[in-house]
């Protein structure tokens, strides 16, 4: 098999695994945060505005991990640093 094909296949598989694993954690974390916030608001309705504001900041922090995984997968697919190395080796340049 050609080296370019191997690097392409490994990049696509790695990007898929990165997105699969990298989105499970934030999804579970966000679900747990929302459940805790709703439980707290049910117990203390007067603190709903403070809890909601804190919840949104926490959700943004949790979601950033999924965004980082998305960025890594896009780099693997479209800006892979190994492509230039292999192509220069293959073409002899």
Q: Is residue 91 part of a domain?
A: no
Is residue 93 one of the residues assigned to a domain?
no
pLDDT at position 1: 63
Whole-number Å distance between alpha carbons of 93 and 89: 7
**62: domain CATH number?**
1.20.20.10
> At 92, phi and psi to the nearest 5?
80, 15
Confirm whether 92 is domain-assigned: no
CA 57 from centre of chain: 18
Low-confidence stretches of the chain (pLDDT beneath 70): 1, 93
Does residue 90 belong to any structural domain of this protein? no
Q: How many domains does the chain have?
A: 1
Helix orientation angle between 3-43 and 48-78, rounded to the nearest 10 degrees: 180
Domain that holds residue 29: 3-81
Q: At 52, which helix (H) or strand (E)?
A: helix 48-78
């Amino acid at each position: 098999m050609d080296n370019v094909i191997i690097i392409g296949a490994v990049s696509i598989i790695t990007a898929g695994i990165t997105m699969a694993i990298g989105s499970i954690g934030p999804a579970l974390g966000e679900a747990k945060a929302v459940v805790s916030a709703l439980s707290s608001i049910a117990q203390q309705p007067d603190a709903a505005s403070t809890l909601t504001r804190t919840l949104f900041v926490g959700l943004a922090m949790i979601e950033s991990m999924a965004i980082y995984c998305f960025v890594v997968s896009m780099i693997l697919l479209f800006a892979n640093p190994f492509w230039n190395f292999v192509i220069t080796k293959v073409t002899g340049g």
